[in-house]
Amino acid sequence: MLDDINILKQRDPNGVLDKAAELYKSVAWEPEVLSAAYDGRSIERVVVTGMGGSALAARIVGTLTRPWLKTSYEISQDYELPGSIGPSTLVIAISHSGNTEETLAAYDQAMKKECLVAVITSGGQLLERAEATGVTRIVVPSGSQPRMSTNYHLKAILRLLMNYQLSGSHLYDEMTDSATWLRDASLSWHHEVPVHENYAKQIALMSVGKTPVFYSGPLMAALAYKWKISWNENAKNVAFCGQYPEFNHNEFIGWVSHPVEKPFAVVDIWSDLERPRISERMELSDKLLSGKRPRAIRIYIQGDTLLRQFLLGLILADYASIFVAILNNVDPEKVELIERLKSELS
């Protein structure tokens, strides 16, 4: 089925597979910082607020900058920001649509607390509020779902950290320079490449009809979260994610009991940049749980740097989950139930 071009076109009417093939281009996008003036105040804390796919890039940046960022960095996925924020806090509000009510509420709170505020959005109420008060902002390209706009959000956050003198340009420049590498590294996942040569299609076939649980070590935790999001929204498929070594302190034992026949696909996301102990834990856990859960599918993420592994893993997650959507006979683009929920809440 996945090699039948007619079926792919029929079940992907909005051409999401074609959009996946173009994702590598987004790393070369150059964001413009509007109202970029910075008053030079001391920044002791960075809080990024956003929901769903809009928060994904914030998680990636948190992992990338953790070894050297001198300010505390946290992510808020809620209506409320921490009560301790204030003038020395930089709050970055991300809403791809600009109409996410949780993010709008957090933005208003940050403004009342006289925080340093910056906005990343494609439009909507968030952009209107930022423009009205001259808040620093980056307008990202519209037209794609938030889950497939992560590179825009990621580059925008990195650009803002540079604007506020919290980071140099090394990650930003590396991202820009990775476009050709990403294109070449992801060519074999294109929908015209047959199953026997296509890793993304093979992953889809191994996991279709099951509930995947994506596991990773600390470095790849944001990527495991992305795979969960992609299965939820592209494939319309329940999925979960977990993290080593925490897995071995609770969830590990949860696999040993009923039901014996578990309708799950266990997926371990491997990176050679994780501590060796993480891969040892994954291997040993899979061995000890043999016969008690499905054998783990190992996803090896290529790339000579952590940033490149993230960028390539994002594309693979979208390709594989879109192929699952094809197999599930669902439209991989639309998220009608989410839109209905937002409509009824409003």
CA distance 30 to 172: 10
What pLDDT is recorded for position 331? 94
66 Cβ contact partners less than 8 Å away, ≥ 6 residues apart = 73
276 Cβ contact partners less than 8 Å away, ≥ 6 residues apart = none
Reference 228, options 245, 244, 216, 218; nearest CA is 216
CA distance 334 to 14: 9
CA distance 312 to 216: 16
Q: What are phi and psi of 27, to 5 degrees?
A: -70, -15
What is the mean pLDDT of each successive set of 10 residues along the chain, which is 346 residues long? 95 95 97 95 97 94 97 97 97 96 98 98 97 97 86 98 97 98 97 97 97 98 97 96 98 87 92 97 97 94 97 98 97 85 82
What pLDDT is recorded for position 336? 81
Please count the other Cβ atoms lying within 10 Å of the Cβ belonging to residue 141.
12
Token pair, residue 206, equals: 């191994």
The string of DSSP codes covering 275-329 is -HHHHHHHHHHHHHTBTTBPPPEEEEPP-SSHHHHHHHHHHHHHHHHHHHHHHHT
Taken in order 46, 47, 49, 55, is the CA torsion positive or negative? positive
What pLDDT is recorded for position 115? 98
What pLDDT is recorded for position 339? 80
Token pair, residue 40, equals: 């030079």
What pLDDT is recorded for position 53? 87
Token pair, residue 236, equals: 């319309």
Q: Are 138 and 13 in contact (CB under 8 A)?
A: no
326 Cβ contact partners less than 8 Å away, ≥ 6 residues apart = 1, 2, 7, 8, 11, 12, 204, 332
CA distance 84 to 66: 21
